[in-house]
Structure 1
Amino acid sequence: MSAVIVFTEGDPWFINSRNWGVILERIMVAVQPEDRRSFDWFLNETGLDFPSIEPASRNSVARMVLSIVEELQVELSVKAKWDVAASGPYYGDLVSKLRNEIDVNPADGGALDG
């Protein structure tokens, strides 16, 4: 089974469920416990759906996910001893898509930043 991230603009991004589980777990750790239920309708084990997020919150959610994915990139490259300059960053396409999501949605004051 796989998971998908659907963006406000552009093509979706797919990942296997095991790797998505790692990302999802870290996202939920970053979210305040009292806010976790509000994430259920756009974020779960099948993926993340930006169009389902309140427009004013998309920017902060994208920033939070981006920071988590960037952390994972560093951890995975060190663990696997990858040469990021030669092979490109792991999750590089996802990082680009998340940055675009931030760009297409106006800043909202970081209401959901973890």
Structure 2
Amino acid sequence: MNTALASLIQSAAGTGAPTSASSRYYGAATQEYVGPDGVAVRYLARRILPQAAVYVSTRSYTVVQGDRLDNLAARFLGDPMLFWMIADANAATDAEALTDEPGNVIRIPLASNLPTGARNG
């Protein structure tokens, strides 16, 4: 692996995971794959999506034309990077699909109530 890239990955709190506390990968483990040619590739471990039911404190929101998940996260959760919490609370693997159709009712989790295990399964 390129040493500059390896250094960048390792500088993320020594885990290789993103260091922003609002990242869904914050604190995630890294793993390494060594190919047949001996080249090592470091990657983030898979994140298992939590069950939507772990978000017990939510509110409903009806999507209007022009809504975007990052803007809804900024408005309701105080950080556009927390869009993934809205996706998780709705068991959505395609986050953008949540705001595709005006009239869809989605669950908005309370930012102060991030359940244990929501980040890294």
Q: TM-score range by the shorter chain?
A: under 0.3
TM-score, structure 1 length as denominator?
0.24
Larger radius of gyration: 2
TM-score, structure 2 length as denominator?
0.23
**Greater RCO (Cα-Cα under 8 Å, separation 6 or more):** 1
**Higher normalized helix content (fraction of residues):** 1
